[in-house]
Structure 1
């Protein structure tokens, strides 16, 4: 069973520079045809200072953490037992190419279902820009399969 004493623990914070070329490639990869996300002139004509960050791109930036496995290591979770359970985004303001975003993840909850056969780890991450303004709150739920859980 995952030790619930980790609830409330902060994981290492980190900062990421939002790169224009990476935004344009992401837009292309997801089939986004709106030039707002790939053409600087179109973005500026729409009132943006630079290319805006597409909504789900913050998940990609979160993977830029110096140690993307920090949560699994801290909780001693075998990646072979991990499933991605849920991802949520709550936005406060847009982010753009050239912004420097700070990610501050916290273990928000740990709980079990099905007699311990499934354990859930909830990670909440506050994202702020270089001015300290809230950009978004991210929630990621990781499901850990534990075949012995129901027997323990």
Structure 2
């Protein structure tokens, strides 16, 4: 079944996360980060940071904290058995630190297909801001959907 391009422009409820130092340390350890600026406050300050900086890919965790992180795919009629992570990119505007309250505001910005509709792509962009509205980052992810009903 083809992904309905009518979902382009769909905005989803914002998600909020208070950045916690312990979670940043855990995340750094989980991804194998060895730079002490992500786990040791003194090392971070010696490197010029105000506190532990949020590691680059951590911001995707905000959306994953949602009770239904992939609900947007279900709303689009996508069978999760046929998806792949296609791409992700980041544009950073400022560094986030423990204590920052961040808001993720996701929306679908594009739907397109390739290979005669056999592969469909859903592009989701998420603006990350602080409680005061200042920009932290813009995230982009592309989900690939295999459409078994389409020709190649």
TM-score by length of 1: 0.93
Match of residue 109 from structure 1: 110
For the Cα contact (< 8 Å) 1:82–1:144, is it kept in 2? yes
- RMSD between aligned alpha carbons? 1.3
How far off is 1:67 after superposition? Answer: 2.1
Instruction: Point out where structure 2 has 5 or more consecutive residues left out of the alignment.
Output: none
Alignment of 1:1-152 (within 5 A): 1-150=2-151
Q: Does the CA-based 8 Å contact 2:19-2:97 persist in structure 1?
A: yes
**Per-residue CA distance 1:55-103 (angstroms, 9 max, x = gap):** 1111222211232022112101110011000010110000111111100
Query: After the TM superposition, which of the residue ranges 107-116 and 64-73 deviates more from structure 2?
Result: 64-73
TM-score normalised to the size of structure 2?
0.93
Structure 1 residues 94-146: Cα deviation after superposition (integer angstroms, max 9, x where no partner): 01111111000010000111111001000000000122111000000000001
Q: Which shows bigger deviation, 97-106 or 59-68? A: 59-68
Aligned length: 151
Q: Unaligned stretches of 5+ in structure 1? A: none
Instruction: State the alpha-carbon separation in 2 of the partners of residues 140 and 68 from structure 1.
Output: 13
CA deviation digits over 1:12-53, x for unaligned, max 9? 111111111111111122222221110112223333232100
